[in-house]
Amino acid sequence: MKINYTKLLKIFLISIFYFVIDMVVAYAHGEKAMEPYFRTRTVMFYDVTWSTDNVKVGENVTIEGKFRLHSDWPQAVDDPDVIYVNQSIPGPVFAKIESYLNGVPARQSFRDMEVGKDYHYKMVLQGRVPGNHHVHPGIAIKGSGTIIGPGQFIKVSGSQKDFKFPVTTMDGVLIEDLETYALADVFKWHSTLAILGIFWLLWWVWRPLLIPRYQALKQGREDLLITRLDLTVGILLGVFVFVAIVYNYNVQANKYPITVPLQTSRMYTDPLPVADPQIKINVSRAEYDIPGRTMRMWVEVKNNGDNKVRLGELTTANLRFINKSFGHAMNNVTANYPSEHMADGGLEIDKDKYINPGESHKMFITAQDARWETERLTAFLTDVDARVGALLFFYDEEGNRKILDVASSILPVFTDDDGTGPSYQRIGR
Amino acid sequence: MSKSESRSFFGKIFRMRSEDREILKIVGLNKEQAGLARYFDFLVVAAAFLLFCGAFHLHVMLSAGDWDMFIDWKDRQYWPLIIPIDTIMFPAAVQAAFWYYFRLPIGATLCGVCLLTSVWIGTYSYWHLWTMFPIVLNVPSIIIAGCILLDVILLIFRRWIFVACIGAPLFALTFYPSNMAALTGYYVPVEHLGSMASMADVIGYTFPRSATPEYIRIIETGTLRTFEGTSVWVSGVFAAFVCIFLYMLWWQIGMAFSTVKTWSQSPKLKKYLGFKG
């Protein structure tokens, strides 16, 4: 058959073309795939900052912030008995230099975290691979997975070839680059054993192999199949391999006289000392208006403190709804905070005012944004655990902040009649 | 050594010997038939190599992948226990088929070479080129030394029971030293964030795997002071013990899977299918 090379080349080029045009870059790290009860009622990130959004290869970026372990911890998620301060980045595009939880080095995992408490984390990453990378902090919970915090694009410029990671061992030896450390030993030894193995295979494969050997064996001529020479070569090879192992093992032991096993232990830190906010909140009803893409909450706030407080922000699943008419709340938004985590409409509060000490005040909160849908947070409509949680940020007149975590069952609303404004408040009252 | 001398050196080693000519003679293959049989050999060898590369690699990655893939999983307790136990299965089965039908004592070495080939292709392609991890993080284990010893023991004793009792424990016991002959440098102590760590720990921390938090590592968490403070040889001896029985089991599995059996040979089935018994 005559092969039509031109046709084959065309098919090849078309295949490549379709492959290339179909490629899209994935920027997310799967957070949308996590159920709403996971994202709204477990690790609640806030005050997240990135020291810069532009570094060169070899330069550092610091990510820090706080998180609260929500009091209404879902039944389906393992308790935070063991956690790890993690990061979500597209592969090792950054090298991790340092990480801390409440100032304690977070090289290893932490145990016995307390639900309802706050923790501070910090990590320092160093640019390694050029590109525009989406960088999230994350808290990994043993048995459940990593809860990802808000993400920021950080541009790494330069050349990966310039990346070097020097390390000094405890016996004072400077390793110029961790990326290539001791690889020469590995290549040499693996090549040696591979050559010995290939020699042994060739020794047998080179000679008449399958059909002749099978037939000869059937005729009872095993004596021809394995000769004295084969036996001698085999024994010599076995002895050589054994001696080579012992010899190289000792060479390495002399080359690196001090070694330690892999290190593992569980760390512990107390939660941050956060004062009692002296605010009690009762969520009497929460709804999600499906056509309006709006979450509504009816809450009663009792101020047991000595200062007047006012609601400034609702945060859930890394989405921030800010009370834009309130200066203290707006001041809490840093200039370079990623816009994809800011709800455009902000937080609407009916009867928005300072709540006096000792006063109980009923409020109707509206958090409207298309991100409820695009972030797949409306899956609580189909989940077995149809509850939603959030952090509420209150401020006193001097701008001091008090944070409360709230949660409630959430009811879907399928129609949009009278779905806006105070007149709608009759529902649930 | 010149090129011609080199060729003659290898030519001497891999020459057709009188026994080989005798084999062709007694099985009645003429020159043309012997040539065709040779082509068949090479086709099977190539196919077998690719098959065992894929199958053995898949088996190891699915059952003990993390210990083999990551330098910061190669501890003193689980690594020398799990990898020999996991990797003796394929060599035992392939040895059975190659020995029983062809008297070829190369099954284990073939598996060892195939695994090393495929695991290095994986390390370089998808770990290093594709996902940009440095090779130091993914230095694989190597089992070729133990595989060669398995084959040599089979060649010497020519009975699988001896290989099970001598070769399999040797396979397990030589695993740790034959790997530490290259990896010792990764256990040099380093001061890291105010505490002591091995170089392997630092490598694992520095080049982060977002989906692999530290707590997920299954590594030694205590110390057996009775045995000079190290669990390596306790793990090694236990692995050797388990390997004896696993070798026996997988030899039988290799025999079963290399024997052609069809249901139609069953008289009962023939009867049910309407054939006369």
Sequence ranges of the domains in chain A: 31-171, 178-255, 279-426
Q: What is the CATH number of the domain that holds B168?
A: 1.20.1450.10
The residue written with tokens 């093992």 in the block is A249
Classify residue A295 by burial, with Cβ atoms within 10 Å: 0-12, 13-18, 19+.
buried
Residue B79 lies in a domain: yes
Residue B151 lies in a domain: yes
Record: contact A211-B27, CB cut-off 8 A:
yes
Residue B53 lies in a domain: no
Beta strands in chain B (DSSP E): 189-192, 195-198
The predicted pLDDT at position A425 comes to: 42
The number of domains in chain B is 1
CB atoms within 10 A of CB B45: 15
Residue B172 lies in a domain: yes
Contacts for B253 with CB less than 8 Å, ≥ 6 apart: B92, B93, B96
Residue-wise pLDDT for B57-102, tens only, equals 999 999 999 999 999 999 999 999 999 999 999 999 999 999 999 9
Structure tokens that stand for B171 in this block: 């396979």
Evaluate whether A384 touches A306 at the Cβ level (below 8 Å): no
Q: What CATH number has the domain spanning A178-255?
A: 1.10.287.710
Q: How far apart are CA B199 and CA B191, in angstroms?
A: 9
Residue-wise pLDDT for A193-227, tens only, equals 999 999 999 999 988 888 899 999 999 888 889 99
Question: What does the pLDDT average to over B9-17?
Answer: 67
The interface predicted TM-score of the complex, written ipTM, equals: 0.90
Per-residue pLDDT of chain A in tens (429 residues, 90 and over written 9)? 567 788 888 888 887 777 666 555 556 667 777 888 888 899 999 999 999 999 999 999 999 999 999 999 998 889 999 999 999 998 899 999 999 999 999 999 999 999 999 999 999 999 999 999 999 999 999 998 889 999 999 999 999 999 999 999 998 999 999 999 999 999 999 999 999 999 999 999 988 888 899 999 999 888 889 999 999 999 999 999 999 999 999 999 999 999 999 998 899 999 998 888 889 999 988 988 888 888 899 999 999 988 999 999 999 999 999 999 999 999 888 888 998 899 988 899 988 889 999 999 999 999 988 888 888 888 777 778 888 899 999 999 999 999 999 999 888 887 655 545 444 443 333
Distance from CA of A346 to the nearest CA of B (A): 32
Which chain B positions have a beta carbon within 8 Å of A245's beta carbon?
Answer: 145, 174, 177-178, 181
Residue B50 lies in a domain: no
Residue-wise pLDDT for A40-58, tens only, equals 899 999 999 999 999 999 9
Record: contact B116-A261, CB cut-off 8 A:
no
Going by the DSSP 8-state scheme, the letter that residue A382 receives in this structure is T
Q: What CATH number has the domain spanning A279-426?
A: 2.60.40.1580
Record: contact A189-B181, CB cut-off 8 A:
yes
- Which residues 363-382 of A are in CB contact (within 8 Å) with B? none
Contacts for A158 with CB less than 8 Å, ≥ 6 apart: A56, A57, A58, A127, A130
Contacts for B213 with CB less than 8 Å, ≥ 6 apart: A84, A86, A109, A140, A142, A146
Q: Of B193, B232, B233, B242, which is closest to residue B86 (Cα–Cα)?
A: B242
Distance of alpha carbon B161 from the chain centroid = 19
Say whether pLDDT at B242 is over 90: yes
Residue B111 lies in a domain: yes
Which chain B positions have a beta carbon within 8 Å of A190's beta carbon?
Answer: 116, 120, 142, 182
Give the range of the structural domain holding residue B263, as residue numbers without chain letter. Answer: 59-272
Q: What CATH number has the domain spanning A31-171?
A: 2.60.120.570
Distance from CA of B275 to the nearest CA of A (A): 32
Which amino acid type is present at position A230?
Answer: D
Q: How confident is the model at residue B226 (pLDDT cuts 50, 70, 90)?
A: low
Residue B150 lies in a domain: yes
Residue B175 lies in a domain: yes
